Structure 1
């Protein structure tokens, strides 16, 4: 079983923090991550040192976390060196270790140049719930939330067409079983307790019809989730 590193990818507010935290319960080493935040009681499970690296790459191509690039992004040699400098912190960690920052979803070309053996696992969530979460946290109009959601999830699908990896629906009724199955395929201990997930922290529920502008994309994502 491979012990190569793992990246948790997916749109912001789409359960990536929950998935990373659950995988950490099952043995994935996350290193020095945020464990508490105003809009995420248990923390986003991200290493803040990745944020400026990703933000600089996005800014160079005229993008940002809430205006994701529509095409793959080629990294410069300096940007790859900056990423390697942060990844050096992970050398002492038990394997497999993992990372999570939604920005990586739209910047994976650089990551895979630096870590060709990087494995992926994705988290998806209904666009209505994500847009509602962005409205509550950032004050964004629903249409803007849908546009950001679509940008990230198109990137996720693009990679899913190229590389086989599990995609977990955050709101699936059998979420825990799906995470454990995926964890086993990642070489983690799927039988461990998994206390990180807390249904009471899910404040946005998906309901009603999927908006037309994102319906086809959500259908495709639903088809690959397991």
Structure 2
């Protein structure tokens, strides 16, 4: 019996690396991923071979990771073939296996064409904490960061209307319990030790009032988070 692959989705700087690392602790095989980086002490847990695939799809429609498309993107046959070429490496992985690249959040239509059985789990984070992290890493102004944050998280809610999957707030006090509950539902070993998460690595805190549009979206995300 095969296990459906698992995609860790969410906006950049929203705890997706932490969630992916925790799921690795609980038995999810992620393949060859980055395990250390300047802005992620334990790495972003991403396979960089997915980046050019996603970036090419985004570029074709005049978008980028920080300039998300306004509508769902239909992938071309060549783009789906490029994704399948990377996924061929995952055939040899012990199951269950998964991947994480925030870009996939805004490109899931193509993923589901290639992997109809794909399961999702999402990480969300307070918009102003994300804006602070993007300011530190990329020098972005708050308004720009919130626009990008909104696009990714609207995509999460759009998929959440059609599929049942866990949405986990990176800063929730019961984070570990929520991750373990979601992992159990995904068929992982929720009783394993989970040392990946270190609260000391969370360097951004939400400060100030959220602008109205982002505040409404954040409230909607909190409604589906568990």
Same fold, TM exceeding 0.5?
yes
Equivalent residue number for residue 184 of structure 1: 184
State the alpha-carbon separation in 2 of the partners of residues 69 and 76 from structure 1. 16
| 2:117 paired residue number | 117
Match of 1:42 in 2: 42
2:50 maps to 1:14: no
For 1:206, the equivalent position in structure 2 comes to 206
User: 2:152 & 2:100 partners in 1: Cα distance?
Assistant: 14
TM-score by length of 1: 0.98
Q: CA deviation at 1:212?
A: 1.3
Q: Mind listing any 5+ residue stretches in structure 2 that lack a counterpart?
A: none
Once residues 209 and 219 of structure 2 are traced to their aligned partners in structure 1, the CA distance between those partners, rounded to angstroms, is 12
Residues 110 and 143 of structure 1: CA distance in aligned 2, closer, same or farther (over 3 Å): same
Preserved contact between residue 168 and residue 178 of structure 2 (Cα < 8 Å): yes
Greater CA drift, 205-214 or 51-60: 205-214
Matches within 5 A, 1:23-62: 23-62=23-62
Deviations 1:102-141 (A, max 9, x none): 0000000000000000000000000000000000000000
Runs (4+) of structure 1 moved beyond 6 Å? none
Q: Distance in 1 between matches of 2:173 and 2:112?
A: 32
Paired residue total:
226
Report the CA distance between 1:3 and its aligned residue.
Answer: 1.5
1:2 and 1:186 in contact (8 A); partners too: no
Cα RMSD, aligned residues only: 1.0
Q: Secondary structure of 1:74's partner?
A: coil
Which has the larger displacement, 216-225 or 205-214? 205-214
What is the TM-score when the length of structure 2 is the normalising length?
Answer: 0.98
Conserved? CA contact 2:105–2:156, under 8 Å: yes
Q: Report how far residue 209 of structure 1 moved.
A: 2.8
What per-residue deviation string (whole Å, max 9, x for no partner) do you get for residues 141-182 of structure 1? 010000000010011110011111000000000000000000
CA contact (8 A) 1:2 1:187 kept: no
Give the C-alpha shift of residue 210 in structure 1: 2.3
Partners of 1:161 and 1:126 lie apart in 2 by: 21
Secondary structure of 2:92's aligned partner:
coil
Work out whether residues 2 and 95 of structure 2, in 8 Å CA contact, stay in contact via their aligned partners in 1.
no
SS at match of 1:146: helix
Report how far residue 2 of structure 1 moved: 6.9
In structure 1, runs of 5+ residues without a counterpart are none
Question: Where do 1:130-209 residues align within 5 Å?
Answer: 130-209=130-209
C-alpha distance in 2 between matches for 1:142 and 1:216: 17
